[in-house]
Amino acid sequence: NIVRELDPMRKVNARTIRCRSLVMVGDDSPHIDQTVDMNGRMLPEDTDFIKLSDCGGMPLEEQPGKVCESFRLFLQGMGYVPSLVQSRSAAGIAHAQIQHDMELRKMPA
């Protein structure tokens, strides 16, 4: 059982593990209620909660790009990845490729 102690006097003596946590769930997951309940029991200053859109119960299988991005931002927020620069998104690259292809079609051969 996980219990968050709210009384500051008893909180000092409570046995807890203090570490940053990333709680991730898909918006169509059958376990979303349990995940939200668990997130509510954890210390808010040590927990990040992410609900992935267009995802069911297996985020790593269904949305690996979003999981990777979320995990990278989580690590960056903790200061572990300060020099990482985000490259263009896959959507931006695809859009640039489409524009390039359209320009090639307009050019006379």
CB 52 within 8 A of CB 59: yes
Determine the pLDDT at residue 48: 92
54 secondary structure, DSSP code: T
User: What stretch of H or E contains 23?
Assistant: strand 21-26
Q: Torsion over CA of 93, 96, 101 and 102, rounded to 10 degrees?
A: 150
Determine the pLDDT at residue 108: 63
Give per-residue pLDDT as tens, 87-105: 666 666 667 777 777 777 7
pLDDT interval class at 13 (50, 70, 90): low
How crowded is residue 63: how many other Cβ atoms within 10 Å of its Cβ?
19
Determine the pLDDT at residue 29: 92
